[in-house]
Amino acid sequence: MSHDSVPSGDVNAVSAEVEERLSRADHYWLSVVTPAGGAHAVPVWGIWRDGCLYIEGPPSRLWFRALRVHPRVIIHLPDPLDPIIVEGRAKVLDESDLTPDAWTLLDSQYQAKYRIEQGSPYIAIEAVRLIGWDGADPKTTWRMTLRDAD
């Protein structure tokens, strides 16, 4: 991980806070580019783990179809005064993408968090870049690049 700018200079502290906030969030906003080139945003449920947001949903949804065509997406937390924005790449997962133990863990985390049975395909959104700031002070903007965008 490289940091483009972290005002405090403490990348580890910012990283730990970001991981904690993304892990405990109940809802996330997902922004995609539709197959026709338009913008589309939708709230989603998900599990943040190991630098990825795992979401699920039916393939018939516009956002699902959109991320298959344009896998670069943006996720952000709902709080406009203390945002965390994740630029990422989406991938619809198939059985070979995770070990059986990882699938079991993901299903159990999702079921425990939202009290529903998982039934739709999972999508992994791998974080590429993180951006945030204290909404009261734009001088607190920070950016961290986690991996190459391509």
Q: What 3-state DSSP class applies to 23?
A: helix
Pairing of strands 52-56, 47-49: antiparallel
pLDDT of res. 4: 53
Distance CA 137, CA 119 (A): 42
The 8 Å CB, 24+ separation contacts for 80-85 are 80/135, 81/134, 81/135, 81/136, 82/132, 82/134, 82/135, 83/131, 83/132, 83/133, 83/135, 84/18, 84/21, 84/22, 84/130, 84/131, 84/132, 85/130, 85/131, 85/132
CA torsion 149→24→139→7, rounded to 10°?
Answer: -70
pLDDT of res. 2: 47
* Binned average pLDDT, 10 residues per bin, the chain of 150 residues: 52 76 95 96 94 92 96 94 93 92 90 79 92 79 82
pLDDT of res. 144: 86
For 3, list phi and psi in degrees, rounded to 5. -115, 130
pLDDT of res. 78: 92
36, two tokens: 């026709």
Q: What 3-state DSSP class applies to 119?
A: coil
- The pTM of this model reads 0.87
pLDDT of res. 141: 83
Scanning 33-125, the segments in alpha helix (DSSP H) are 62-69, 100-114
Scanning the chain, the segments in alpha helix (DSSP H) are 11-24, 62-69, 100-114
